[in-house]
Amino acid sequence: MRAYRFRLYPSKWQEKELLHHLFIEKNLWNMLLEKTKKKYNEEGKFYSKSEIQLLVKDSGLYSQSAQAIAHRLHHALQAKVRAKNRGQKWGFPRFKSIERMKSIYYPQSGFSLGQKLKVSPFGEISIVRHRIIKGRIKTLTLKKEASGKWHAIFMVEEESVPQKPNNGPTVGLDLGLNHLATLSNGNFIENPRIFSQFENELARTQRHLSRKRRGSHNREESKKKVARVYESLANARKDYLHKAANALLSQYSKVAMEDLRIQKMAREGHGKNIHDASWALFTNMLCYKAESAGSEIVFVDPRNTSKECSRCHSIASKSLWERTHQCSSCGLVLDRDVNAAINILQRATAGMAGSNACGDGIEIPSLKQEAAPSMAW
């Protein structure tokens, strides 16, 4: 599955209706939560899936969109029950304000795409299709961005692409702080200072925002301007990652990298790493681009990749600021990240790799969560 995202230009009337639907969704979600909590307090159990589905009937939303909300709640409750059975703490789904209700979801039907996007009950909405959709459209999400723009996001099932033969070599990849990625052959992919391009603009818009009175119309407008700068920043970053991923996959038939999910667990307690967003996004891009490039992504166990000596395999701790690997056993001196990338490559070729776990639950944290300027890249 692949996501296509197109800008929408709803008319005044359509925008009003769209916002009204978000409002109904918000109320519906909060009503469901309230009833669920009440039932749980009184009877000690949750609604079944079909009971929730009954509750969302005649909500005023397109029926499948309402059902989608029922499913969302059902999944959230199931996750809670599963976590509880594992003995973990798990929050109850949260009540939503209108700011947090941003999208309307069409799981199967209710829309068709021609010159315009025809979607029930809003009619034909103007859309800019800057790309050709290859494959079969499965779902549609109408999304309101923080900047006030609307987008249509289509999830598309791709037709299997005939594989181009890729005879390139295998490479190990270490995602890092100094460079976005260091390759086992000593090359690296630069970590662009994308943020600095937007720094002045962001500072300016944020300064404007801070001068506006709370609750005023001007404040809302300023907020949107700040959101638009963040949006440009996120787009520039995505664009860069796309190009980097394409370049890498055109050269190498097999790319070995660390399993981010294991790495995340290993890092717990050390604070959330600010680079996770970029790393996860980059990994995800490599995964879905790999097939059509005729390449393969292989994930390996990330444990000790930077501590292990890539020549004699003895393990020695080093702190984050030690940039050079200096082995006291065999005397190897090598850039820290290149040493790690070679270890990753060796694990992949020595059969110590996990399965090709592409698309298997790699979460992409939202890029807009970055609040402080110094935290981007």
b (16+ CB within 10 A) / e for 151-181: bbebbbeeeeeeeeebebebbbbbbbeeebb
Please calculate the CA angle 124-149-130 and round it to the nearest 5 degrees. 65
Using CA atoms of 321, 334, 298, 82 in order, give the dihedral in degrees to the nearest 10: -30
Hunting for tokens 């680079």 — which residue is that?
275
Measured from the CB atom, the residue of 79 and 316 that comes closer to Zn ion is: 316
Measured from the CB atom, the residue of 284 and 339 that comes closer to Zn ion is: 339
332 binds Zn ion (CB under 5 A): yes
Site string for Zn ion, 252-291 (x = CB under 5 A): ----------------------------------------
**In angstroms, rounded to a whole number, what is the distance separating the alpha carbons of residues 11 and 18?**
10
- Write the single-letter amino acid at 354: G
329 binds Zn ion (CB under 5 A): yes
For the bound state, the minimum distance from the C-beta of residue 170 to Zn ion, rounded and expressed in Å, comes to 22
Piece in contact with Zn ion (CB under 5 A), picked from 92-100, 255-263, 266-274, 331-339: 331-339
Six token digits for residue 296: 């393969």
For the bound state, the minimum distance from the C-beta of residue 237 to Zn ion, rounded and expressed in Å, comes to 37
Piece in contact with Zn ion (CB under 5 A), picked from 13-21, 55-63, 264-272, 325-333: 325-333
Measured in whole angstroms, the distance separating CA 105 from the mean position of its chain's CA atoms is: 18
152 binds Zn ion (CB under 5 A): no
Piece in contact with Zn ion (CB under 5 A), picked from 86-94, 132-140, 217-225, 322-330: 322-330
> How many residues make contact with Zn ion (CB under 5 A)?
7
Measured from the CB atom, the residue of 153 and 334 that comes closer to Zn ion is: 334
Measured from the CB atom, the residue of 265 and 316 that comes closer to Zn ion is: 316
Residues in 301-320 that interact with Zn ion by CB under 5 A: 309, 311-312
The answer to whether 173 touches 341, Cβ cutoff 8 Å, is: yes
Q: Which among 49, 42, 38 has a CA at the least distance from the CA of 76? A: 49
Measured from the CB atom, the residue of 262 and 332 that comes closer to Zn ion is: 332
The answer to whether 117 touches 152, Cβ cutoff 8 Å, is: yes
Piece in contact with Zn ion (CB under 5 A), picked from 193-201, 327-335, 358-366, 367-375: 327-335
Measured in whole angstroms, the distance separating CA 38 from the mean position of its chain's CA atoms is: 34
| 44 Cβ contact list (under 8 Å, min separation 6) | none
| 22 Cβ contact list (under 8 Å, min separation 6) | 98, 101, 102, 104, 144
28 binds Zn ion (CB under 5 A): no
Measured from the CB atom, the residue of 205 and 343 that comes closer to Zn ion is: 343
Q: What is the DSSP letter of 373?
A: G
Q: Which residue from 54, 177, 203, 330 is in contact with Zn ion, where contact means CB under 5 A?
A: 330
For the bound state, the minimum distance from the C-beta of residue 307 to Zn ion, rounded and expressed in Å, comes to 11
324 binds Zn ion (CB under 5 A): no
Q: Which residue from 101, 281, 298, 327 is in contact with Zn ion, where contact means CB under 5 A?
A: 327
For the bound state, the minimum distance from the C-beta of residue 316 to Zn ion, rounded and expressed in Å, comes to 8
List residues binding Zn ion (CB under 5 A): 309, 311-312, 327, 329-330, 332
